Amino acid sequence: MDERPIGVFDSGMGGLTVLHECLVTLPHEDFLYLGDAARLPYGPRPLDEIRRFALEIGGYLERQEVKLILVACNAATAAALPDLQRGLCVPVVGVIAPEAHAAVLATRNRRVGLLATEATVASGRYADLVHALDAGVEVFSVPCPKLVPLIEGDDPFGEETAAAVREYAELLKAEGVDTVILGCTHYPLVRPILQRTFGRGITLVFSAEETAREVAETLERKGIENVDSREGVCRFLTTGDPDLFRETGRRFLQLPIEAAERVEVATLEAAAAA
């Protein structure tokens, strides 16, 4: 039995959609979630800057004595996963590989679309992983700079969001894709809008369940899982406003968030420098 928590981080609240699946899959584990709201969004930032942020957070979480780190952010996974895995002493799992695998299995015409942030698209990680699994699959990537601010805003299901989704979806429809990867952990919150826009003929891939299974399998393989008989707890940290995180975060987690604690960006920077 290993009672240390699992560390999870994202640029804001989108990673709570992945945490939800982890809580369902691993109800006996403790979790420590950190949302870097002070530096949200990551998507428009250069990959080197996102990599620095991820290494700071990874170092901080390791100092909190977590036993595994889940990078529940597509941009941070794309920019920093290998560096995190090399630099930290605990196992590190990302969100991109499970989605690439699921898309290759789902596509029938071998034409896969990707909706993601600018940074994730620029990294080319999805195309690399898809082609490693099936070199014959074509990947059509569309950066979506409007979506994250709208989804974290006051009216995520409003007409402005629907209009942005239509704009991005038309680019992929024109390419004849039959499968679309939702390459940002925020996007599942507006999945009904996405599915209505694309229609039932196009499969949407968001593999939070596969990611949660990968975390479970990693814990078992490393022998650091907890006993099934206990009930896990979850602690929430944010570099932004704790009250805003608690209130808005409920939409993403689909569960109550009783409290959130503030962590200063300077504290994260210090952890990386130590």
Which one of the listed residues 73, 89, 144, 234 is annotated catalytic? 73
36: number of Cβ within 10 Å: 26
| Spatial separation of the C-alpha atoms in residues 137 and 242, rounded to whole Å | 43
Sheet holding 234-238, edge to edge: 92-93, 68-71, 6-10, 31-35, 234-238, 261-262
Report yes or no: 18 and 208 within 8 Å, Cβ to Cβ: yes
Which residues fall within 8 angstroms of residue 144, CB to CB, at 6 or more apart? 115, 116, 117, 164, 168, 184
Start-to-end CA span in the chain (Å): 30
Active site residue 184: yes
| Spatial separation of the C-alpha atoms in residues 74 and 152, rounded to whole Å | 16
| Spatial separation of the C-alpha atoms in residues 134 and 137, rounded to whole Å | 6
Report yes or no: 96 and 205 within 8 Å, Cβ to Cβ: no
Please give the single-letter amino acid code of residue 227: V
Which one of the listed residues 22, 144, 184, 234 is annotated catalytic? 184
Active site residue 144: no
3-state secondary structure of 141: strand
Report, as residue numbers or ranges, the catalytic residues: 73, 184
